[in-house]
Amino acid sequence: DCQLVPVGCVLTMAGTGSEMNAGSVITNSDTKQKIGHVFASEEVMPKFSILNPRYTMTVPEYQMKAGIYDIFNHICEQYFSGDDDTTSDYISEGLMRSVIHSSRIAIKNPQDYEARSNIMWTATWALNTLVACGKSSDWMVHMLGQAVGGYTNATHGMTLAAVSLPYYRHILPYGLPKFKRFAENVWGVQAVGKTDEQVAQEGLSCMEAWMKEIGVTMSIRELGADETMLDDLADATMILDGGYKKLDRQEIIDIFRESL
């Protein structure tokens, strides 16, 4: 039996993907499902957090890279939703640019205090509900990634990285204005002489190049998944409707296949 215990603070000293929020994830080893935010409640939301980036400097490089992408995707999950002009999106764009900039420094020199402190600070803002204000939020990349994690026990951030681009390329036509904005405001893509779709696709290509640059996993096959698992992975994927396109089962299978 478990009881929820109110939390007064959180000492953030794990990997670079640490954050301040009231959520948690539990894996059902029988069904191989990873279910998130099962304990999400204001009662367990930390009142403050103590951030010391020096504690992250001993984290293995693989986990640091996974954490960096986890942070970035937390922001994406909230950014790629909604059609209105909201301040939350402007904040998200700044946070994403910060992660991109600091990640490049930290990969070259993991002991760079400023880069590690900025990554940790961004991690906190990425999931403490700030940039979710006024947003429906998506979280399908997390649902897809958690299904992979349930079957392979792979590192969370790497499962997100492996499924992200196939998912975003699939939903791009349904959220084209936001993907175009993402390309221009986060990656600096120039729109002159290009269609909106060309700009949007170029933005995702820039994202792909950055992911390869920092060394995250780009394929679920690298994490232990294969073609025989596609139906099981689809069955283990929770379908949410906060993003630009609510997926059906066949679309989920197609995205996993593209992620191999």
For residue range 82-117, list pLDDT tens digits in order.
999 999 999 999 999 999 999 999 999 999 999 999
**Model confidence pLDDT, tens digit, residues 170-225:** 999 999 999 999 999 999 999 999 999 999 999 999 999 999 999 999 999 999 99
Task: Measure the CA–CA gap between 259 and 230, rounded to whole angstroms.
Answer: 10
For residue 129 the two structure tokens come to 């509900």
Q: Is 84 helix (H, G, I), strand (E, B) or coil?
A: coil
> For residues 23 and 69, which has the higher predicted lDDT (pLDDT)?
69
Q: Which of 18, 8, 103 is CA-nearest to residue 52?
A: 18
Are the beta carbons of 141 and 243 closer than 8 angstroms?
no
Are the beta carbons of 97 and 206 closer than 8 angstroms?
no
Q: Which of 4, 108, 120, 112 is CA-nearest to residue 52?
A: 120
What's the predicted TM-score (pTM) here?
Answer: 0.89
The domains of the chain are located at: 60-259
Q: At what angle do helices 249-259 and 140-152 cross, to 10 degrees?
A: 70
Are the beta carbons of 130 and 91 closer than 8 angstroms?
yes
Residues pairing with 49 in the sheet? 10
Q: What fold characterizes domain 60-259? A: Dehydroquinate synthase-like, alpha domain (1.20.1090)
